[in-house]
Chain A
């Protein structure tokens, strides 16, 4: 693949994320769950072996999923299929590209393979989504070739507070950049540890150059709608659906609430009778070494 051919992927790869806007991307571990997600109106599914709540509970090294599982999920649905590679594990990413997934999530939910470098995503034809806790991190991932950003939140907790913090941080830092004069943007770029040209573009346009979803802790329709009201382009729901009492109904309700995020009566309606939400863990009770959001830099 020539550089030119990869360059030309930028628009189709950021474009696919644009098409997912206003939608919900759901973690699934079986083809059956993938079909439930598609029937509920998910815009894409994330194929993985264990949802983050189980990774957290069971511990050990979390890696890319078995190709058979990913193939099974690709065959089960007609919506895009994403899959996770470990941070810095470029061969897992090569394998996922060879399997024909539609998007790779270089994810802190899995155990990092490299504590210094992220994957050089510009070397791939398949698009990547990456997590970020702040604007500098988001811009570094975009520089490395990410076509989509998601705020990290704290996966597998069902506690929306970290998702809230990361989304507010990213959007707040974008707003702050917009208030700076041209000659202050050089230092802003230094402080964000991100390329000046990209920082200037964000300051001028008032938004990231790629789609910004939210992830990590969304468990209810109201959680999803709150993220949309704050300015997220869409929502990832991990453990929140299939770790709840009634996954099919909860999935539909979260999809509805994400679209009709500014219609409180509608959100009330879809929130009725969903059964138990995932039990959840308060992020404050998770010891710092076990916080996934601190992986990646």
Chain B
């Protein structure tokens, strides 16, 4: 159970995971560990009643192609415009970006948009250029998230213990690091005025947020560090 805003009563939260293709199971496992219920989303009607939606890593071209017949991505965009919380990782970020440089196979396919950034797909190169790198989570961004009314990024595990986000020694008012797994990752080449940088890799933005929409270029779902998931859930 995620703690609600401030010290208010805890409530049951149900998060959708876009399940057309990709690392669906990993996000479900992460969300389950944070004590929230999940539901797989393949068609627009499955968005009803959700408190938020995760867009997993996968192949953005395949996901956009599979979503087209039902208009699912447009339905997600309509909800984002109404304040619906969404968290996109890797391919999920590409689908959320307003501008995709070098879109390749995405040309002509509707995506979601709504996040004022420019991303470049496979910007580091082929799989041989994939790798792990430290992501610096910025203290300022986390504190700012708190200041604008996002609940303290703490979560309660299944045993009822409350943890701060990520490792136990991480505090919201100090910068900290998380392990980033970058797999044929996109790069964020431009960040719009309303977009906050939450995390950087060698000074480049790799985790961002704009209101209730969070996104990152790496895969927090495949390492045991729920920092970003918990931070995002804090605002759900």
Chain A residues within 8 Å of B, Cβ to Cβ: 8-9, 11-13, 15-16, 18-23, 38-44, 74, 77-81, 97, 100-103, 125-127, 252, 255-256, 259-260
Contacts and interface: CB of A to CB of B under 8 A. Distances in A.
B66 A19 contact: no
Contact of B127 (A78, A80, A256, A260): A80
Contact of A19 (B59, B103, B121, B132): B59
B22 A22 contact: yes
Given A38-B105, A78-B121, A256-B66, A100 B59 contact: no
Contact of B183 (A15, A39, A100): A15
Given A11-B222, A41-B65, A43-B58, A22 B24 contact: yes
Contacts of B61: 38, 41, 78-79
Nearest to B89: A19
A74 B22 CA distance: 21
Contacts of B106: 78
Most buried by B among A18, A23, A43, A256: A18
Chain B interface bracket (under 10, 10 to 19, 20 to 34, 35 or more): 35 or more
Interface of B: 19-26, 42, 57-59, 61-62, 65-66, 69, 90-91, 102-106, 121-122, 125-128, 130-132, 181-184, 219, 222-223
B94 to A, nearest CB: 10
Contacts of B181: 11-12, 15
Those 3 A-B pairs whose CB atoms lie nearest each other, nearest first:
A78-B104, A41-B65, A102-B127
A78 B20 CA distance: 19
B21 A259 contact: yes
Contacts of B26: 18
Given A12-B130, A43-B62, 5 more contacts: A38-B61, A101-B126, A102-B127, A259-B42, A259-B66
24 contacts: A9-B131, A11-B132, A11-B181, A12-B183, A13-B130, A19-B90, A21-B25, A21-B58, A23-B22, A23-B58, A74-B126, A77-B104, A77-B105, A78-B61, A78-B102, A78-B106, A79-B105, A101-B126, A101-B127, A102-B127, A103-B127, A126-B127, A126-B128, A127-B127
Contacts of B25: 21
Nearest to A102: B127
Contact of B59 (A44, A97, A125): A44
Contacts of A103: 127
B127 A16 contact: yes
A260 B42 contact: yes
A22 B182 CA distance: 20
Contact of A78 (B24, B90, B122, B223): B122
B21 A43 contact: yes
Nearest to B20: A259
A21 B24 contact: yes
Among B25, B104, B128, the most chain A Cβ lie within 10 Å of the Cβ of: B128
B62 A80 contact: no
A20 B62 CA distance: 10
A39 B132 CA distance: 30
